[in-house]
A = this chain, B = another copy of it.
Amino acid sequence: MTGRLTVIGLGPGDPHYLTAAAKSALFEATDLIGYHAYLARVPEWAGQTRHASDNRVEVDRARHALSLAADGRRVAVVSGGDPGVFAMAAAVFEALEAGPVAWRSLDISIEPGITAMLAAAARVGAPLGGDFCAISLSDNLKPWEVIVQRLDAALSVGFAVALYNPISKARPWQLDAALEIARARLPARTPVVLARAVGRPDERIEILPLSDMKGDMADMATIVIIGTSTTRLIDREGAPPFVYTPRSVEPPA
C-alpha cells in the first residue's frame, strides 16, 4: 500500500508553537481529519479535503483515517498539543490493531507537538522542574478509583502533577474530588497553576494557593498543574510571580 497517515501535533493554539516538521506534514497531506476546532487552526491549502468531526468518537475517526490511507491518500490526523498525550495517537493504534492486517503496511507516523502542560509551565516559569506526572481526570475510559489511586500515589512521593481533561459538563465533580486528595497531601500554600487556552486570544492564566482553588475555576480547555511541597513563587513588581520547582530534593525526614 502506498497510502500514508501522519498524526500531527498542532501544539497549543498559537501557530508559532508548530514545529517545522508538523507544518511540512500538514502541507503534504491530501486529506485532513480532526476535531473541527483543531482543523480550524490549520491554514487552507488548495486541493486538500477536510473531514471535520466532533471531539468524541476518536476511534471512528481513526478508522476513517486509516481507510482513507488504505485507498492511497496522504492523510493527516490533526491533534491539539502532542498526539501522544491524551490525544489521537493511541486511538489510531487501537484502530490499527483491530483493523485489517493490510493496514499494518501503511506508512504511519506521529509528528510530536508541544503538549498543554509544557506550554502552561513555560508561561509561568518551571513548575515541572522536578519529577512530574500527567494524569487525565476523565473517567470515560478508566475507573474513577484508578484515577484516585494514581493521583494519591503521585502526590504522596512528591511528583508535581499536571491534570488533563480536568472538568466537563458530564464530569462536574471530579476536579473538586482531586483537589481534596491534593489538600490531604500538600501544604495549603502549594502553588497551583490554571492555564486556559495557552497561546490563543482567550488565554487566561491563574496562579493560586491550593487552599483557594475550586473546581469551577477550570473548564474543558484548562490544564491544571499542582506543584509540590517545594514549589516556590518569585514575586515581581507589576507582574505575576514566577512559579518554579527547584531541582534539588532534600532527603526524607
Contact = CB atoms under 8 A, between A and B. Distances in A.
Nearest to A96: B234
A225 to B, nearest CB: 11
B128 A85 contact: yes
Q: On chain A, which size bracket covers the interface?
A: 35 or more
* Copies of this polypeptide in the complex: 2
Contacts of A84: 118, 121-122, 126-129
A165 to B, nearest CB: 11
Nearest to A24: B16
Interface string A101-130: 000110011111111001101110111111
Contact of A159 (B105, B126, B129, B133): B133
A248 B142 contact: yes
Interface of A: 9, 11, 14-21, 24, 82-86, 89-94, 96-97, 104-105, 108-115, 118-119, 121-123, 125-136, 141-143, 145-146, 149-150, 153-154, 156-159, 232, 234-237, 242, 244-252
Given A90-B246, A105-B237, 13 more contacts: A82-B114, A86-B247, A93-B129, A94-B247, A104-B234, A114-B114, A128-B134, A131-B136, A141-B247, A141-B248, A143-B249, A145-B252, A153-B154
